[in-house]
Amino acid sequence: MEYVAALLPSTVMAVAFIALIVTIVKSQGGANKAKEDAAVDAALARTEAARPGTPPEGAAS
């Protein structure tokens, strides 16, 4: 029975890792991609707007 106790943590970690990879792959693209892209674009726009002394994008230099 000691071999079962020795292999169990490795097996559990392997299953958890595979589940993590499957979740990451499933969440890429599809309907979520547009929402994620919009969230990133909004965050970048807020960051650019918060910078003092930088002209807005598209402004003539």
55: in domain: no
Task: Give the range of the structural domain holding residue 23, as residue numbers without chain letter.
Answer: 16-48
24 part of a folded domain: yes
pTM: 0.47
pLDDT-derived band at 33 (thresholds 50, 70, 90) equals confident
Query: Would you say residue 59 lies in a domain?
Result: no
29 pLDDT more than 60: yes
Asked, for residue 54, whether it belongs to a domain, the answer is no
**Residue 36 Cα distances to 19, 22, 24, 45, angstroms:** 22, 19, 14, 14
Q: What is the pLDDT of residues 36-52, one digit of tens each?
A: 888 899 999 998 888 77
* Inside any domain, residue 43: yes
Domain total in the chain: 1
Enter the DSSP assignment of 57.
T
The alpha carbon of 35 is separated from its chain's Cα centroid by a whole number of angstroms, namely 12
pLDDT band at 16 (very low <50, low <70, confident <90, very high): very high
